[in-house]
Structure 1
Amino acid sequence: MVRNLPDGRVEILAEGDKESIDRLIKWCYHGPRGAIVENVEYKFEPYKGDLKDFQIIYH
């Protein structure tokens, strides 16, 4: 799950193996082209297996 927050931050909820999550965290320090990344914070929680797919929803 990825969502833009009203204060300009981006929140990501992801599940996966350690290597994939490590790559995601590393990518977050740079972000997509044109992004200005000022800070990256993350925390690990026990794997639950809740996330099965990813879809983009525009609001």
Structure 2
Amino acid sequence: MKQYEYKFVKSKLKVGFDYDKKVADMEAEWNELGSQGWKFCTWANDVMVFMRERQ
């Protein structure tokens, strides 16, 4: 039977007005999580939930 683990990441509202930089930072963070096997699940109440299959 497949088993999963979950990672909860609190959404950080970064100070500043550079929207493009915020998007680039978020993309880099998500790509890092993806390279570790995490898959985005949902986003609610300022918390992002990622999951991956346990080995």
Higher relative contact order (CA 8 A, sep 6+): 2
Relative to the length of structure 2, the TM-score reads 0.39
Relative to the length of structure 1, the TM-score reads 0.37
